[in-house]
Structure 1
Amino acid sequence: MSEQQHFNSIYMKNALLSLLFSFCCLQLFADGQTILPNLKFGKPTMEELTMTTYAPDSNATAVVLCKLTNVSYKWGIESFRLFYEYKVKIKILKPEGTSYANVTIPYYELQNNTMKENIIGLNASAYNMENGKMVRTKMKKDMVFKESVNENQMQLKFSIPQVKVGTLIEYEYRLESDFFFSIDSWKAQSDIPTLYTEYDVTIPEYFKFNTEMHGAETLKSTNEATSFSLSIGGQLLQCSGTHLNFQGVQLPALKDDSYVWCLDDYCTQVNLELLGIDFPGTLYQSFTKSWEQIDESLLKDTDFGSRLKMNNPLKEEMAALHLEQMKETDEKICAIYTLLKNKVRWNEKYSLYGKAPKQILKEGTGSNADINFILISMLKDAGIPAYPAVMSRRNMGIIPYSHPSLQKLNTFVVAIAHTDTTLVYLDGSIEDGYLSVLPPVLMTDRARIIAPDNRSQWVNLTAIGTNQLRSVVKADISPEGVIAGTRETLYAGQYASRLRNKFRTAKDSTDFVSKLASEENVQVKALRMDGRSLFSPQVREFMEFEKQSTVNDQFIYINPLIFLHVSESPFKQSERKLPVEFPYADQLSLTVNLTIPEGYAVDEKPESQRIQTGDEKVFCRYTITQQGNQISLRYLFRLQKLLFLHTDYSELQQLWEMMAKKNNEMMVLKKL
């Protein structure tokens, strides 16, 4: 990787805990309770020490009473440096909240380079009330540790002692950074509520930044001109500058859940992007780039562009595949990928840049990028055009179209020309998928295919492939209430991938069958799966099963669906501020044919029903009919929309509750 790329990689820093020192007091009101966040550190108030609950969020395990950050520029020995001052005060309210006394601070220290960051002035204390008096416990140095994360990143860890329910903790530190051209993103919210937070930044006139605020919560902000004094070589230099200030009051906790890919995308925050540097007597240096310039930069990079030009390292092994005898392109692609995956195992790491192929093949393991670069060389050698489609993984945040940023990219998949007009996608991390059946974390709506001669383009990977489950059940009901029959199921796309993953991660086939029986609440009498171990688009399953229904006097109670789609709604929150993000579009079709026993008649049965959202992007149809002693049920579910805003939550919640209710409805058979 080039030196510039190494420098660029440091800008992907995790946001640090935010705090700025202020010498004033603020009075807030929450549910009629007066809360006084004392912004002076080292002198907790009696209200802070005796506080037992946080009125706006009675379930909070802890609350940030104040979180303050100050950022300023100073002149170092030869260049500017960034100085961050952090202060934070947290009240522990429940046993689970004691974990906030364990703090990790990431920082950078580039190997083979003088550029680094230093953490100094760390102080931390715990305050407790004992026998009516305040007791302060200071953290000692032996509670502070440093450790290496990778060749460029370090982290400092510390644990504040004597922390329990009722403890008030405070800590503060300074971070000095040589990376003056990159100001850390500032996040106003965390996973516990915040009573007061403030972000104060002073920037000299030589640095031109674009300021971006986003998130659901409101911040009070000011942007004003200010004077700036710099001490350079013992001489005082006066210049103008910009003073930015952001304040947040009574911000709610931002808690992650399974229906949000990246919580940071919705966190109230401030991002400062460097546009350029304008030093006196020098030409203006622009730091803004277009996506076309980023394409060019990647194609010139040693560990990216050069890897795209390398020769096929498995040329001899590939010759034994006899690709010339294969008629279909997808057959050739599958043969090449299967050969490669037999040579290199994914190490469960994602990357944008690749290592030398000889090293990867020798070790037999590599990142998805390492495997993808070799795959591209093999495909090109077979005459099949292939290109990298760079992206930010869905759990790493959205790529902004309007603010091109190399630092936002963290991996890529392989876009392969299936025909002259269609593409399929593969990735070295695939263990259970197929062509265009990627791990959902890679199915982003913003991937950029990097191609020479200005042929790069944006592609949406959320709708690639077909994810479908079709199941047909035929069963007889005995007078004893035993349902015995067969289920034939076709799994395609993500459904096939999930089934293969369950089988691969089970201890053995017996464990897999046991879990299947438990999940479906049936006895599995026989099970056969076709295509389970193949690199193929589908898996077919044949199951013989029995299930005991409830028998009471003259009645048999049966759920005619037998194999439920939705047993209960996952959307239990009364209200929601975050959107709902589904991993992929899918379709499920269930057909059930039941024969009722002689001497019995249907006393009650569910009614047919159609359920859907207003835009019909989520659709469910339940159709049940009877002809003689035969009961036929058709159940169809279709999801075609992946993002639902918080304003759509109540409709989505109602739909899922209706589906769950329908899935659980019973049919009653009465003895004649």
Structure 2
Amino acid sequence: MKDVLLILTCLFFINSFSQKKKSTKIGNVDIKELNMSQYDKDTTANAVVLYEHANYYIDENKDYKKTTDYYFKVKILKKEGTNKATIQIPFYGDEKVHSIKGISYNISKSNTILKKHLLDNQVYTKDLYGKWKEITFTLPNIKVGSVIEYTYSVTSPYSKIDDWYFQSDIPKIKSDFTAAILGNWKYNIRVIGFLKLNRNNASIKKRCVHVPGLGHGACLILDYGIDNIPAFKEEDYMLSKDNFISKLSFDLESYQNPRGGIDKYTKTWKDADRSLKRDFLDNQTSKKGFFKNQLPPSLFLIVDDLERAKKTYDFIQNYFTWNDKYWPSKKVRIKEAFENKTGNIFDINLSLYNSLQAVNIKSYLVLTSTRNKAVPTRLHPVIDDFNYLLVKAIINNKTYFLDATKKQLPFGLIQHIAINGDGRVMDFKKGSYWETIKLNRKTFRRINAQLSLDDNNNLNGNLTISSDGFFAVNARENLSINNIDNHLENFESKHPNIEVESFNHQNLDKKDNTLHQIYSITFDEIGSSNKLRINPFLIEKVTKNPFKLNKREYPVDYGYPRSNTYTLSLKLPEGYTIKSLPQNTALSLPNKGGRFILNFKNLNNTINIYSKITLNKRVYSSEEYHYLKEFYNQIIKSQDAFIEIEKASN
């Protein structure tokens, strides 16, 4: 991922000039665009952006507020692309969306252009949440082959400049962003993504505007653009696309006010640490006295540090119920949350932190973000990048990252959604720092089937699924929300050839131990003839490759290493002979990234199968993608194999 920081500044008090003249006007569609039937650079595309342009400037006609004029021209290539004619424009607070125009173009039988204009009564406004609203409209008379063209403007009193996305889910032929920015405003401008700019110009224009009472000012002129932009295609096992999709991102650093002073918006981590503790946490990190009185007295009698920490963790985890909320919209009040026995991520893990402090366990708070958000930038502190809080505990010189929000999480494991890059450890005495979040639990699943084939060609026996780490968390959560009947119904619907005679489990409530699910099963529809073909992978067979792209620019991020082991012992009755077994297979990923093993053995007319898929890495680079894709292809091919058995004729 390319993440380039461009620090652009001009220390003058200024306003804009005739930047508005650079805005693209509506009415630019020709016959050639209407006759276009496919986009040659991506023949799978449902639609293609022919041109788009955003132009940002200070609008003298809008009381010198910031205005961005938007222009879009899109070709509809397939029926699935007609949804591009429905436009949604979110806006906030005192922002105004105005000057909306739209035209849909089609071609007549006589090869002339037919136009249909968007009407004012086809534009709708609705409330979203808080101060957010949304403008929605759909261009009329849309069909395959149409070209749509629309413009609108957003005028804002706020200093924030919205990100400009060069990439989207459809390809683009040309995308431009231009701006004239007040010279006394300083922004950190990041170019994110893997695409290179075709236009990359920044300059200062002096005396570009005259403001009554203030004189002439200068402008910072920007001109960025990319041509022939491929669609951004999402795939399994990725972090938020905001980490990789090509865009411009603007972070306000400082403002020089008319008095000559500098107002800083981008702070150092020292500033951020201080403001986080004072303004947000509001002394909620010094409540160990409160929790010392709330914790069971027996906790303080436990001599072993690790055992004392685990029991404290268990108490907080079982006491609270997570309300499914992350970053709170108001200041944290953990006493209030404790009284209600419910809270957000910060309420619960701040309570855990204070409780560990109360029982004399060395611990720190750790800020991170969920996987649906961009990884927090390291260039400078942006507090809005974070929405999750963990606890780091150091016990006997070993580090544990803790998360008490979900009942099924064992000590040393956090929610998978919170594994999103490194965490920022908040050491309020020595200063915060970045640290890789390492997990203290291995994730694995072991499936063991002990089956016998009877004279009627039915398979009977036991199936045991043992799991730990995240696989166990998921299994326990599934069992907690479904009763046994629902669980078995879901299991049998997923495996229609298996009938469950009985079911039991071990360690369901002991989250620090391996979970065992034990099934007594009958496997039907093996066959009625004397010659049988049996696929030995009764469950958890890999049938689809999650990786289908020809090239993937961004890494594969599983979040954690994992292994899946499958063993089967199939005992045959007298009179049956094994005609053939599939080939043994062994595959390895480069850089010790993983391994697949599949072995078949025949011992005294009992078929023993051992298979193990191991992925040793949390993240695989884009260079390793091809190997990982082929790894899955070979697994699918190897598992799509059959044991051939023949029954002696009477």
RMSD: 3.1
1:85 maps onto 2:64 in alignment: no
Q: Which amino acid aligns with 1:100?
A: K
What is residue 572 of structure 2 aligned with on the other side?
596
TM-score (norm 2): 0.87
- Mapping 1:2-21, distance limit 5 Å: none
- Mapping 1:143-162, distance limit 5 Å: 143-150=123-130, 152-162=131-141
1:652 to 624, 628, 632: 628
What is residue 269 of structure 1 aligned with on the other side?
247
Unaligned runs of 5+ in 1: 1-18, 24-38, 110-115
CA contact (8 A) 1:483 1:549 kept: no
Structure 1 pair 621–510 and aligned structure 2 pair: CA distance change class (3 A): same
What is residue 78 of structure 2 aligned with on the other side?
94
- Mapping 1:527-542, distance limit 5 Å: 527-542=503-518
How many residues align? The count is 626
What is residue 409 of structure 1 aligned with on the other side?
386
Q: Secondary structure at the match of 2:544?
A: coil
CA contact (8 A) 1:564 1:663 kept: no
CA contact (8 A) 1:496 1:537 kept: no
Kindly provide the CA deviation profile for residues 343-395 of structure 1, in whole angstroms up to 9, marking residues without a partner as x.
54322221166432354356554321222223333333333344321012222
Q: Which amino acid aligns with 1:513?
A: L
CA contact (8 A) 1:345 1:364 kept: yes
| Partner Cα distance (2:387, 2:583) in 1 | 50
CA contact (8 A) 2:557 2:619 kept: yes
- Mapping 1:162-181, distance limit 5 Å: 162-180=141-159
Structure 1 pair 62–383 and aligned structure 2 pair: CA distance change class (3 A): same
What is the CA-CA distance between 1:491 and the residue it aligns to? 1.1
What is residue 212 of structure 1 aligned with on the other side?
190
| Partner Cα distance (1:332, 1:662) in 2 | 48
Higher-RCO chain (CA-CA 8 Å, sequence separation at least 6): 2
1:559 maps onto 2:535 in alignment: yes
Kindly provide the CA deviation profile for residues 157-198 of structure 1, in whole angstroms up to 9, marking residues without a partner as x.
334444343333322222222322x32222101111112111
1:510 maps onto 2:488 in alignment: no
What is residue 447 of structure 1 aligned with on the other side?
423
CA contact (8 A) 2:88 2:135 kept: yes
1:64 maps onto 2:64 in alignment: no
| Partner Cα distance (1:75, 1:284) in 2 | 24
* Percentage of pairs with the same residue: 22
What is the CA-CA distance between 1:446 and the residue it aligns to? 0.9
| Partner Cα distance (1:525, 1:21) in 2 | 76
Structure 1 pair 555–367 and aligned structure 2 pair: CA distance change class (3 A): same
CA contact (8 A) 2:401 2:438 kept: no
1:398 maps onto 2:375 in alignment: yes
1:376 to 337, 353, 356: 353
What is residue 7 of structure 2 aligned with on the other side?
none
1:289 maps onto 2:267 in alignment: yes
CA contact (8 A) 1:98 1:164 kept: yes
2:283 to 306, 319, 331: 306
CA contact (8 A) 1:449 1:459 kept: yes
| Partner Cα distance (2:353, 2:175) in 1 | 49
Kindly provide the CA deviation profile for residues 646-670 of structure 1, in whole angstroms up to 9, marking residues without a partner as x.
3322211111111111222211122
| Partner Cα distance (2:635, 2:359) in 1 | 49
What is residue 389 of structure 1 aligned with on the other side?
366
1:581 maps onto 2:557 in alignment: yes
Kindly provide the CA deviation profile for residues 292-350 of structure 1, in whole angstroms up to 9, marking residues without a partner as x.
3322221222x32422223666666533x732455555555555455545554322221
- Mapping 1:86-485, distance limit 5 Å: 86-109=70-93, 116-129=94-107, 134-141=114-121, 143-150=123-130, 152-180=131-159, 182-229=160-207, 234-235=212-213, 237-278=215-256, 282-301=260-279, 303-310=280-287, 318-319=295-296, 322-324=298-300, 326=302, 329=305, 332-333=308-309, 335-341=311-317, 343-351=319-327, 354-361=331-338, 365-417=342-394, 419-461=395-437, 463-485=439-461
What is the CA-CA distance between 1:280 and the residue it aligns to? 7.3
| Partner Cα distance (2:20, 2:630) in 1 | 44
CA contact (8 A) 1:84 1:175 kept: yes
Q: Which amino acid aligns with 2:484?
A: S
1:609 maps onto 2:589 in alignment: no
Kindly provide the CA deviation profile for residues 127-178 of structure 1, in whole angstroms up to 9, marking residues without a partner as x.
344665513132324632131422x444333344443433333222222223
CA contact (8 A) 1:20 1:198 kept: no
| Partner Cα distance (1:575, 1:96) in 2 | 24
| Partner Cα distance (1:416, 1:442) in 2 | 17
| Partner Cα distance (1:344, 1:157) in 2 | 41
| Partner Cα distance (1:361, 1:124) in 2 | 54
- Mapping 1:616-627, distance limit 5 Å: 616-627=592-603
What is residue 5 of structure 1 aligned with on the other side?
none
1:44 to 18, 29, 47: 29
CA contact (8 A) 1:354 1:369 kept: no
CA contact (8 A) 1:188 1:268 kept: yes
CA contact (8 A) 1:20 1:86 kept: no
What is the CA-CA distance between 1:279 and the residue it aligns to? 5.6
What is the CA-CA distance between 1:566 and the residue it aligns to? 1.9
1:494 maps onto 2:470 in alignment: yes
Structure 1 pair 312–430 and aligned structure 2 pair: CA distance change class (3 A): farther
Structure 1 pair 650–523 and aligned structure 2 pair: CA distance change class (3 A): same
- Mapping 1:631-642, distance limit 5 Å: 631-642=607-618
What is residue 11 of structure 1 aligned with on the other side?
none
What is residue 568 of structure 1 aligned with on the other side?
544
Q: Which has the higher mean CA deviation after the structures are superposed, 246-255 or 651-660? A: 246-255
Q: Which amino acid aligns with 2:621?
A: L
TM-score (norm 1): 0.85
| Partner Cα distance (1:413, 1:170) in 2 | 47
What is residue 40 of structure 2 aligned with on the other side?
55
Structure 1 pair 74–437 and aligned structure 2 pair: CA distance change class (3 A): same
Kindly provide the CA deviation profile for residues 369-427 of structure 1, in whole angstroms up to 9, marking residues without a partner as x.
2222233333333333443210122220112223332232222122234x142233333
| Partner Cα distance (2:526, 2:214) in 1 | 88
Q: Which amino acid aligns with 2:127?
A: E
Kindly provide the CA deviation profile for residues 569-618 of structure 1, in whole angstroms up to 9, marking residues without a partner as x.
22233443443222321122233222222122221112222111121211
CA contact (8 A) 2:122 2:138 kept: no
